[in-house]
Amino acid sequence: MEKQTDNFNKFLFENSPGLDLHIIDRPAKKQDTKEILINAGEHLLGQKGVAGFSLREVALFAGLNSNNIVQYHFGNKKGLITAILNNRAERMMAFRKRLAEEMLSSSLTVRGALLLLWLPRMSFKDSEGCHPFCRFLLQLCVHPNVKDYPLMRYYDEAVVGHQSNLEQTDQYILQALDCLRAHYSHLSETTFEQRLAVLNLAHLTSVVSSDTARKIKATDIEYYDMDFMVDFAVGTLSGL
């Protein structure tokens, strides 16, 4: 099968919403305060985990000299995390729609379904080409209280079978899930959900590991190899 990594990277480059982290030692662009705090909170949680940062640190990292500005806008840490998820979900929905329009000129394939689930969360890149939202989600997904957050909208946790959450997502996620479920009908519902949940975490982990390797110059590979992850997922889902 022909590899398509270059096409994926081109699509990501042309459609990704740029993230401008307003850091203390860099002049600020004209940007909404909430957006600045959301970007800063995403970065800090991704680096330090849910319990590893304070709201005061978020304000300082954002270059905003106010002790209570995060509380003013979001209330508490859970409010900030929920705001980050909602902000990214809205932007991913628009990205996923553009991606689906390119894909759905023909019938949706298994590979296409996996890309609909995973490419949107990779669309957020920082100035170094890394994926802060993937790092943020990975930290959140392994947190003991992950169920406090409605992650089904982002399809990044083992809640595929919780039907009460499905109305919070968008039609293209549901279409991708329906495609995968129909193709792997030999799997029980429980096995399908478990494998897909593990693959979701594997994708996040592999993206974060790839980013880290490039930052510390441990690899010369410029781009994340999405083809490898999709091949791995197809093999995992195909087994009995």
Calculate mean pLDDT across residues 191-213: 92
* pLDDT score at 7: 60
Instruction: Give pLDDT tens digits for 114-156.
Output: 999 999 999 998 888 899 999 999 998 888 877 777 666 665 5
Of the pLDDT bands very low, low, confident and very high (cuts 50, 70, 90), residue 6 is low
Residues 45/140, Cβ–Cβ less than 8 Å: yes
Flag whether pLDDT at 98 surpasses 80.
Answer: yes
109 lies in which domain range? 5-238
The residue among 25 and 59 whose pLDDT is bigger is 59
* pLDDT score at 174: 84
Of the pLDDT bands very low, low, confident and very high (cuts 50, 70, 90), residue 215 is confident
Calculate mean pLDDT across residues 169-173: 77
* pLDDT score at 195: 92
* pLDDT score at 9: 57
> How many structural domains does the chain have?
1
| High-pLDDT (> 90) share of the chain, % | 45
Of the pLDDT bands very low, low, confident and very high (cuts 50, 70, 90), residue 158 is very low
Residue 10 is part of a domain; what is its CATH number? 1.10.357.10
